[in-house]
Amino acid sequence: MTADDGHDGAQYLAGSPVRVAILRALREEPRRPAALTAVVDATRTTVQRILGGFRERDWVVKRDAAYHVTPTGERVHDAYERLLTEVERAERYGQFAAELGRVGADLPASAIASGDLTVAAERTPLAAVDRITELIDSNCTGDDAEIRAVSPVVVQQFNEAAADALDAGVEIELVVDREVVDVSIAEFGPATERALEDDGATVYVSPEPIEYGLFRRGDVACVTAYDRRNNPRCVLESTDPALVEWVDEQFESFLEDAERLSAVVENAR
């Protein structure tokens, strides 16, 4: 059997929703053609023709007037269902993955399998901003009272949420780039002063532009994808160990060449 043979079989199954429905029905339990006709809403002729195609491929056998899925038929069915799940997941996470891929963020694939995604849409353009704000401003204690984050933007909502978190005793480590610092000094003076003066806040400045966001609080890790205009579009959050470890590693890599905000501001003056 060649790879082309496998492709032909996959193409045969995917070529008709009725074929998929019949194999799915038989995977649940053996059925006679008459029963399949009712389940898949197809004519007796169509059902018989498809069953013949399945028998040629050894996906089903006929026994006691009913059709039974063979072990190979079970595997084909299960593999196809997994493929459908992955395709549906790709449609859901496609924009997020593409934006991260564009900026070279090597996100572990397992994160997409288990994470929850918040997406900004036409009717909810601030969905990603709102979700990040909620995560910053959530009331937590213990290990959750520490936040580590990386952000390529500064917005008033984030500043206000961070101020509330600091007031609640949360310790914040934040990495931004020089452009964020310049905007903060020009437009958000009080927030910048607090970042410099509050013992609970430690802000670092990356010498290189930051193109995606990170967030870590307790056992929750988040990655934010931004579009080309630096608008937050998608937030993936998960407790998956692979994502948590990746976020921690990325945060540490941003720290390697970063300076403390106080030093950057002092040099600017």
pLDDT in tens, 53-89: 999 999 999 999 999 999 999 999 999 999 998 898 8
**Planar angle of CA 226, 261, 189, nearest 5 degrees:** 80
What was the pLDDT predicted at 203? 97
Q: How many C-alpha atoms does 190 have within 13 Å on its Cβ side?
A: 5
Judge if 202 and 250 occupy the same domain. yes
Domain that holds residue 41: 3-79
How many domains in the chain?
A: 2
Judge if 260 and 218 occupy the same domain. yes
Q: Which two tokens stand for residue 140?
A: 């937590």
Judge if 108 and 75 occupy the same domain. no
Judge if 133 and 247 occupy the same domain. yes
Considering only CA atoms, which of 93, 116, 33, 112 is closest in space to residue 68?
A: 33
Residue 117, H or E segment: strand 116-119
Judge if 127 and 235 occupy the same domain. yes
Integer Cα distance of 233 and 188 in angstroms:
23
pLDDT in tens, 147-191: 999 999 999 999 999 999 999 999 999 999 999 999 999 999 999
Judge if 116 and 238 occupy the same domain. yes
CATH number of the domain within which 256 lies: 3.30.870.10
Judge if 75 and 155 occupy the same domain. no
Q: Which runs of consecutive H residues, i.e. helices, occur in 57-150?
A: 71-102, 109-114, 127-137
What's the distance, CA 38 to chain centroid? 39
Integer Cα distance of 202 and 258 in angstroms:
12
pLDDT reading at 1 higher than 50: no
**Domain membership flag for residue 89:** no
- Tell me what the mean pLDDT of segment 33-45 comes to: 92
